Amino acid sequence: MKLRINHILCFAVHFSLFTVLASAPEERFAAMSPEEVRAYEQDTMKHVADLALIPPVINTNPLPKYDYDQLDYGMTIGIERSPGGRLWACWVAGEDGPKAFFVVNRSDDDGETWSKPCLVINAHAPDRILIPRSTLVGNFWTAPDGALHLFFSQSMYNYDGRAGTWETVCNNPDVETPVWSAPRRIWHGYVLNKPTELSNGEWLLPLEFPNFPNAGREFKTIHQGLEPLRGANVFVSSDKGKSWSRRACVRFPNPNWDEHMFVELKDGRIWMLARTGKGIMQSFSSDNGKTWSEPSAPANIKQPVARFYIRRLASGRILLIKHGRTIDTHEGRSLLTAWLSEDEGQSWIGGLMLDERKGVSYPDGFQAPDGTLYISYDHNRASDGEILMARFTEEDILAKKLIGPKSKLRMLISRPLKREARAEAVKRKANASEQALFTGPQAELETPGGEVRKLKKNASIYSNRTYTFYELPTPLTGKRYIFSELETTDAVCSKAGVVYVLCATPQRNPNDNPEAELTAQGFVKAAVPEFVITLVRGAARPQETCSVYQKILKPGETVRFGRWGVLAF
């Protein structure tokens, strides 16, 4: 009886509270002090951050939702080889930010061709959680026992001040349908680079727990108890990856994303290198990573604020992938080069150019049993989104050119096609409204501000510029055009007939095209292939890639438009 009465009383209290909250939910906050409101806000943010602790799902059947035509961003993360020779690559799609998610593909022909996405980790749940839950950075690593490990992070937004490193393991990575273990959370922070097996059999894991200014600023005050743990952390496994424990942490000056890596030196020390706001810095440990020296800058390595790659090779040399034509210079995220050291990093030789273009970054790699080196990197993440691979040898590095029979550069791993698909759809829509080139009688034009000339290649285009015609549509070659200033073309029709305007579309040249002026005067786009009207400093730029607009004029009609157009008839 007493238990029933208690249940009745509890029900009455909850019902009364529900009634109050339902009728005026804001009243409970009106009665709070500012300190109590702040405590409530912090508690709510803690609950939001805890959503990143929910185990993610490994999607091994991601098609067609995550096919290349559905992707529009590409930031490389890692590449690895499983024991049977299969290559695995992973990259970030969505963005380098809150929308990020993980995509994986594989190759069974040494990187010549790659599968469609075969695994995706996407923790976003827009139907249930309005705040982005990102999967950002990680890496593949084939352990000495042959198991393929995939490390990845999970966080609210791109960083909630704590985040978390997760791991899934595949023990049969070379079969047709590999099986991945349920993800387990190792600790806070991120793993971007591969573990290192020490000579004593321990596995050393570089786990970064960001401590730079504004890191996780949306959640800055809710994880204050974790502040002493932030930095370039050293995790170790003494049981072949069954468990991981935190051994030490190095705090580098001018902190950025640490992205640190380890090399065990021949004298027994462990060499840690990390990315900082001032370039690469280093620290050393003489007790298997328990304690570390005061950070310093390597005297002979200059690198921008960007990821690098360093690894001990089977030959005993150390491989370094960095930016710059020389070991002690760089020009930002361009000029990706490969170097070797035969004296434990004191000096560097070689300098093989892997990719000289701007916008190349984030190298990762491995060495195959036959000694071949494989490095993945990305090119123009947001625009091209390409993930590329270089396959080369130590001899190539020393020769500073490819001499190996298998060596090859700029091998395509993946490229997102959603942006291209959208552009193609726009083009198809535009083409649907195009009309065949008018071939009737040509109009006669009189121009007050120019002269009439014959339309032919190499002829001058404008009276106040030195540009000449590089390409012309075949049906228009030999016709006449108004030779006038670039900024203004003006003509009056004296005899009815067809006229054409050669100019760039807004898609080709958003800033200098007369399409709006032409369509307002009744011109329509003709179904003529695009052509490069002129070269600028010897280059065929997109801005000078032109289309043809056309109209049948009546006597007395005027044609007038602004810069970057040629009136032909």
Asked whether the beta carbons of 483 and 450 are under 8 A apart, the reply is yes
Domain boundary among 138, 171, 189: 189
* Greatest distance between any 2 Cα atoms in the chain: 108
Question: Do 172 and 51 share a structural domain?
Answer: yes
Asked whether the beta carbons of 158 and 133 are under 8 A apart, the reply is no
pLDDT per position in the chain (569 positions), as tens?
Answer: 433 434 433 443 343 444 444 568 888 888 899 999 999 988 999 999 999 999 999 999 999 999 999 999 999 999 999 999 999 999 999 999 999 999 999 999 999 999 999 999 999 999 899 899 999 999 999 999 999 999 999 999 888 999 999 999 999 999 999 999 999 999 999 999 999 999 999 999 999 999 877 666 778 778 888 999 999 999 999 999 999 999 999 999 999 999 999 999 999 999 999 999 999 999 999 999 999 999 999 989 999 999 999 999 999 999 999 999 999 999 999 999 999 999 999 999 999 999 999 999 999 999 999 999 999 999 999 889 999 999 999 999 999 999 999 999 999 999 999 877 766 666 665 555 678 888 889 999 988 877 899 999 999 998 888 889 999 999 998 899 999 888 888 899 999 999 999 999 888 888 788 888 888 888 999 988 999 999 887 778 888 899 999 999 999 888 988 878 999 99
Domain boundary among 173, 189, 205: 189
Is residue 30 in some structural domain?
no
- pLDDT for 488 equals 84
Say how many C-beta atoms besides its own lie within 10 A of residue 419's C-beta: 17
Token representation of residue 327: 């070991």
Question: Do 509 and 442 share a structural domain?
Answer: yes
Q: Closest Cα partner for 159 from 104, 89, 222?
A: 222
Token representation of residue 81: 């080889």
Say which residues have a Cβ less than 8 Å from residue 343's Cβ, sequence separation at least 6. Answer: none
Say how many C-beta atoms besides its own lie within 10 A of residue 41's C-beta: 12
Question: Do 183 and 202 share a structural domain?
Answer: no
In CATH, what number is assigned to the domain containing residue 173? Answer: 2.120.10.10
Phi, psi of 197 (to 5 degrees): -85, 120
Is residue 157 in some structural domain?
yes
Question: Do 221 and 338 share a structural domain?
Answer: no
Question: Do 376 and 324 share a structural domain?
Answer: yes
Is residue 158 in some structural domain?
yes
Is residue 283 in some structural domain?
no
Question: Do 557 and 444 share a structural domain?
Answer: yes
Question: Do 156 and 140 share a structural domain?
Answer: yes
Question: Do 225 and 157 share a structural domain?
Answer: no
Q: Say what the alpha-carbon torsion angle 498, 502, 505, 509 is, to the nearest 10 degrees.
A: -160
Q: Structural domain of residue 400, as residue ranges?
A: 298-409
Asked whether the beta carbons of 112 and 133 are under 8 A apart, the reply is no
Rounded Cα gap, residues 292 and 193, in angstroms: 19
3-state secondary structure of 188: coil
- pLDDT for 197 equals 97
Is residue 359 in some structural domain?
yes
Question: Do 178 and 160 share a structural domain?
Answer: yes
- pLDDT for 429 equals 59
Domain boundary among 212, 245, 278: 278
Question: Do 324 and 239 share a structural domain?
Answer: no
Question: Do 183 and 213 share a structural domain?
Answer: no
**pTM given for the model:** 0.74
Is residue 433 in some structural domain?
no
Say how many C-beta atoms besides its own lie within 10 A of residue 541's C-beta: 14
Secondary structure element (H or E) that encloses residue 15, with its range: helix 2-23
Is residue 461 in some structural domain?
yes
- pLDDT for 16 equals 43
Q: What is the length of the chain?
A: 569
- pLDDT for 297 equals 95
Question: Do 470 and 525 share a structural domain?
Answer: yes
Count of domains observed in the chain: 4
Rounded Cα gap, residues 397 and 394, in angstroms: 5
Is residue 308 in some structural domain?
yes
With tokens 């093989």, the residue in question is 352
